[in-house]
Structure 1
Amino acid sequence: MHPWAARIQRAALFMFASVCTWYSGYLLVELIPDAPFSSAVHSLRSFRERPVLQAPAPKRQKCDHWTPCPPNSYAYRALSGGGRNKPAKLCFEDELLIGEKAGNVGRGINIAIVNYMTGKVIATQYFDMYEGDNSGSMTKFIQDAPEKSLLFMATHDDGGSRLNLEARGAVEALGSKEIRNVKFRSSWVFLAAKGFELPAGTQREKINHSNKAKNRYSGWPAEVQIEGCIPKEPH
């Protein structure tokens, strides 16, 4: 066979194969219904538009605890001040006893008295220990607290410069182990029970004197806090 004849034959075979392939594809498209393809597209679109399930936000607990207190108990949280612009906070049963939003927090020692039997606040007051002689009024405030009372205390700024021995003794009589160590700008919190005993293991007191210049308060001691749950039945 001549070379040119062989080339013509190959070209004819190629064209025949191309026509067969095109026709087969045409028949395939005609025979397959549109429904499966449309359904696939619809399924992909629905999957994309389907709302993403998210875990529910954790329920907020009283006084910002991580976990709820047991039934028949009180929740509390005492936070000292930290730096010039972060005042103290005293929270009991999710009520802000003393704090910036309550408008009753101040420099010195902040004290809230709560009726242990009813859970109701009796009195709140802060005592400036940087200016003026307020140790005497603070001592009287503590001593006038009725029996079966909870006393929450927290410093902001200076709670120690003008705190005299009589006032320190009144707090020490309530069970404080650190009141003698409170000095200029110490961060200190304390929970006391008057006329009854708190359960063993109750977080009652914490103090911080550290004033490292590298902390977030530019040399002021960082805040300290205590929190926990108190059974409503006295011990």
Structure 2
Amino acid sequence: MRVTGVIRYVALFIMLLGTWFIVQTYFDYRWKTISLRSWLGEAPAGLQPGEQLPRHKCGNQKSCPHNHFAFKIISGAANVVGPSICFNDVVLMSNVKNNVGRGLNIALVNGTSGQLLKADVFDMYSGDINKLDTFLQEIKHGTIVLTASYDDAATKMNDKVRAHFMELGSSHVSKLGFRDNWVFLGAKGLKNKSPFEEHIKNDKMTNKYDGWPELLEIEGCAPRKMD
């Protein structure tokens, strides 16, 4: 019994010692990382009390350099929430503006002034693909093209329309399929592929929603076209 009792006391001592060590290490780290300023609710360094962090155009994470336009494109979520397109801090298309719909939502912007030229929706499930074909053919040189998918973006897609988007700088439109999500910013006259594009496949094994992949979002700075 004495041996058993000693073993129990030793085990208890080791457990208490280990607990003390963990608590000391954890809380010492926590206290070092939490400043008194945070506890008192003071403003971060560089900000005056009551002053808010700077807001960037379109709600982006950072500001754009001179002669660049800020933009943010968000695809639709399944067939429930429509997409959103913001350019130079102006929301061009969204649910709130009531100008989005199933298919491809496209806004055309003057690449020099940043002014909206045209915005339209093309039903890619049961609509007329010739309407989109004509729309893309009539885009003038120097126009910035912002595109966001919603619900289904590819059922009616054909090689001719895909070629138009490839001419605008798309690298993913050739792979766009039924209920895929796609966001893209390109331009008429672009010599290289656009760096502003995201595409996610409709895959029942990875879809976030029942029958649809998760929404996509891209933001960045589009260079102004200089005459």
TMscore range, shorter length: 0.7 to 0.9
Alpha-carbon separation, structure 2, partners of 1:88 and 1:163: 19
TM superposition shift of 1:175: 2.0
CA distance 1:196–1:94, change in 2 (3 Å): same
Q: Which 4+ residue blocks in structure 1 deviate beyond 3 angstroms?
A: 51-56, 210-216
Residues 214 and 173 (structure 1), Cα distance of their counterparts in 2 relative to 1, 3 Å cut: closer
114-123 or 171-180, larger mean C-alpha shift = 171-180
| Map of 1:175 onto structure 2 | 169
Q: How does 1:119-198 map to 2 (within 5 A)?
A: 119-132=114-127, 134-197=128-191
Which of 198, 203, 206 is residue 198 of structure 2 equivalent to?
Answer: 206
Change in 2 beyond 3 A, CA 1:215/1:173: closer
Partners of 1:90 and 1:69 lie apart in 2 by 17
Q: Does 1:110 pair with 2:105?
A: yes
The 3-state SS of whatever aligns with 2:185 is strand
Q: 1:53 aligns with which of 42, 56, 59?
A: 42
The residue type equivalent to 1:209 in the other structure is K
Aligned ranges for residues 78-117 of structure 1 at < 5 Å? Answer: 78-117=73-112
Per the TM alignment, residue 178 of structure 1 is displaced from its structure 2 partner at its CA by 1.2
**What TM-score do the two structures reach when normalised by structure 2?**
0.73
- Structure of greater Rg: 1
Cα deviation for residue 112 of structure 1 reads: 0.5
Alpha-carbon distance between aligned partners in 1 of 2:52 and 2:177, rounded to the nearest angstrom: 42
Deviation at 1:157, TM superposition (A): 0.5
- Aligned-residue CA RMSD (Å): 2.2
SS at match of 1:83: coil
Structure 1 residue 225 corresponds to structure 2 residue 217:
yes
**2:41 & 2:172 partners in 1: Cα distance?**
53
CA change 1:53–1:193 in 2 (3 A) is same
User: What is the match of residue 34 of structure 1?
Assistant: none
Q: Which runs of 5+ in 1 are unaligned?
A: 1-50
Contact 2:73 2:85 in 1 (8 A): yes
CA displacement 1:10-48 (0-9 Å, x = unmatched): xxxxxxxxxxxxxxxxxxxxxxxxxxxxxxxxxxxxxxx
- CA offsets 1:41-87 (integer angstroms, 9 cap, x no match): xxxxxxxxxx9634443222111111111123210111111222221
Q: Helix, strand or coil: the match of 1:170? A: helix
Is the CA contact (8 Å cut-off) linking 1:63 and 1:94 kept in structure 2?
A: yes
Per-residue CA deviation, residues 181-223 of structure 1 (Å, 9 max, x unaligned), is: 111110001111113457x8x6321100144467542341111
Q: How many residues are paired up?
A: 182
Amino acid in the other structure paired with 1:165: D
Instruction: Provide Cα deviations, 1:113-140, integer angstroms capped at 9, x if missing partner.
Output: 00011110000001001113x2111111
State whether residues 174 and 194 of structure 1, in contact with CA within 8 Å, keep that contact through their aligned partners in structure 2: yes
Separation of aligned partners in 2, 1:195 and 1:216? 36
SS for the counterpart of 1:223 is: coil
Q: Distance in 2 between matches of 1:214 and 1:204?
A: 23
Task: Specify the alignment match of 1:28 in structure 2.
Answer: none
